C-alpha cells in the first residue's frame, strides 16, 4: 500500500490556519446592571408616571443592541451609548409604562448575555378611601 505525505501536510496547514482562530479571545458583551427609575426626577416609577429601564453593558460588543423584556414581552430595544467616564462600558435606556401594580420580571438581553431584575410596583395608600390616612391600633 502506498502512503502519501500530502494528506499529512494538508492537515498540518489546516491546523495551523485554525489555531489562531481557536486561541483568539472571543468578542463579548455582558449586561452588567439593570436599574429602574421614574421618568420624571423626584417622582416614583408607577402606573401613572411611567418608568425608565437603564441597562449598563461591558465588553468588546458593549454598544450592540439591547432588548428589554418585562414578564417575557419585549417593551423596547436600545443601542447603548459609550459612557464618557468609562471606555469599557455602555448605557442604554428603554421607556416602560406599566399598566398595573404588581411584581415584574425585567430581562435585558444583549447577544448571548442577559441580566434579570425583579421590580415591584406597589399601590399607594391602604384599603378604602382613607386607608392610608387613618391611624391603626386601639385605645385602652
pLDDT along the chain (140 residues), means of 10: 49 47 54 93 88 95 96 97 94 96 96 93 63 36
Please report, for the chain, the start and end positions of each structural domain, with discontinuous segments joined by +: 29-121
- Grid look-up 437603564 returns 54
Q: Is residue 19 helix, strand or coil?
A: helix
Residues in the chain: 140
User: Residue 29's pLDDT is what?
Assistant: 67
Q: In this structure, which topology does domain 29-121 adopt according to CATH?
A: Immunoglobulin-like (2.60.40)
Q: pTM score > 0.75 for this model?
A: no
- Rounded to an integer, what distance in angstroms lies between the CA atom of residue 29 and that of residue 111? 7
What φ, ψ does residue 19 adopt, rounded to 5°?
-55, -50
Amino acid at each position: 500500500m502506498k502512503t502519501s505525505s500530502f494528506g499529512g501536510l494538508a492537515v498540518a496547514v489546516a491546523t495551523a490556519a485554525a489555531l489562531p482562530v481557536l486561541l483568539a479571545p472571543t468578542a463579548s458583551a455582558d449586561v452588567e446592571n439593570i436599574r429602574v427609575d421614574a421618568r420624571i426626577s423626584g417622582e416614583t416609577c408607577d402606573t401613572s408616571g411611567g418608568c425608565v429601564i437603564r441597562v449598563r453593558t461591558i465588553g468588546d460588543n458593549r454598544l450592540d443592541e439591547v432588548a428589554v423584556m418585562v414578564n417575557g414581552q419585549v417593551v423596547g430595544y436600545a443601542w447603548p451609548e459609550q459612557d464618557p467616564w468609562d471606555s469599557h462600558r455602555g448605557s442604554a435606556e428603554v421607556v416602560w409604562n406599566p399598566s398595573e401594580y404588581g411584581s415584574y420580571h425585567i430581562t435585558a438581553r444583549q447577544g448571548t448575555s442577559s441580566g434579570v431584575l425583579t421590580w415591584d410596583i406597589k399601590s399607594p395608600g391602604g384599603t378604602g378611601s382613607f386607608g392610608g390616612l387613618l391611624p391603626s391600633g386601639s385605645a385602652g
